Amino acid sequence: MPEFLRPLLANIHEEVASRFYGCGTPIPQAIEGASVLDLGCGTGRDCFILASLVGPSGKVVGIDMTDSQLEVAHKHLDYHAEKLNFPSSQLEFKKAFIEDLGSAGLQDNQFDLVISNCVINLSPQKEKVMAEIFRVLKPGGELYFSDVFSDRRLPKELSQEPVLVGECLGEALYAEDFRRICEQVGFKDPRVVESSEIQLFDRRIREQVSGVHFYSKTYRCFKLELEDRCEDYGQVAYYQGSIPESPDEFLLDDHHLFPKNYPFLVCGNTAAMLGETRFKKHFKIVGDRSTHFGLFDCGPSSLSQSASGSLNLGCC
């Protein structure tokens, strides 16, 4: 868990925490003043934290389909507004299915950020969910979420097996199919931020899914005009150290760790992720796309490899 979130989590009401079924903490940095949507917000734990982080000029909306979960969220709204120092008016909970955000009155290009905490994999219509997320995001907006993925497609009988579904495994999406869905709806070049293999301690489950590996992954996807490959335009990114939660270095994904003031060669897509999103005030991008030098080797750098080893990973 990121260190900057620990004090906020310590102030979450016990009932909210105990009935919250998310399995990660998919809350990114640099979200002050942002409009944020939480898909499958449950009892509202992440929404309360988000409302504290976005500040008085931000807005948070939580969506869930379960009345009992939303009842807990509404019940403790004023408590968290006082504890975490945000006006209760900037946080709103709505009942809706994540496949149909229009039913909750959510408009095109409404949000700077959409998060989800191990919920998308529970939907039988993942393509619709991703298309709706793309629709409600503003240009330059970001989807940042944690979920369970598999290294191959599961047979239908396993995907519907009650025990596997209950363990968040049955509906796990094959990572390559997720990439294809992203490209289909408009999210080019989805980036993995964190990834760790899920250990299956139940012998019966191990036998059922023999040969299948499951992973907890955190992804970030941007609503940008990106290319399907990393291309080299000779661009350099300088992180200015201005994100309060990361004064010394900034982790974009599992192969881009930017030390403060270090000249970091980046592909055109990465330059856009840093220079055409909310991160633009924290980065200086040198160069444009006027001259093309071919494909860019976007493999892990030694800096990002050393960083990923120290990440606190886990989901479900």
Say which CATH architecture domain 3-222 belongs to: 3-Layer(aba) Sandwich (3.40)
Each residue's pLDDT tens digit, 185-221 = 999 999 999 999 999 999 999 999 999 999 999 999 9
Quick one: pLDDT band at residue 181, thresholds 50, 70, 90? very high
Residue 151 scores a pLDDT above 90:
yes
Each residue's pLDDT tens digit, 11-58 = 999 999 999 988 778 999 999 999 999 999 999 999 999 999 999 999
Burial degree of 260 (CB within 10 A; 0-12, 13-18, 19+): middle
Share of the chain above pLDDT 70, in %: 94
Q: What SS3 state is found at 199?
A: coil
Which of these ranges, 20-24, 123-127, 299-303, has the smallest mean pLDDT?
Answer: 299-303
- pLDDT of 168: 87
Residue 315 scores a pLDDT above 50:
no
On the CB side of 74, how many CA atoms lie within 13 Å of its CA?
11
The third-level CATH classification (topology) of the domain covering 235-308 is Ribosomal Protein L9; domain 1 (3.40.5)
User: How many Å separate Cα 70 from the centre of its chain?
Assistant: 21
User: How many Å separate Cα 68 from the centre of its chain?
Assistant: 25
Name the segment(s) of the chain with CATH classification 3.40.50.150.
3-222
191 near 219, Cβ under 8 Å?
yes
- pLDDT of 166: 85
Name the segment(s) of the chain with CATH classification 3.40.5.100.
235-308
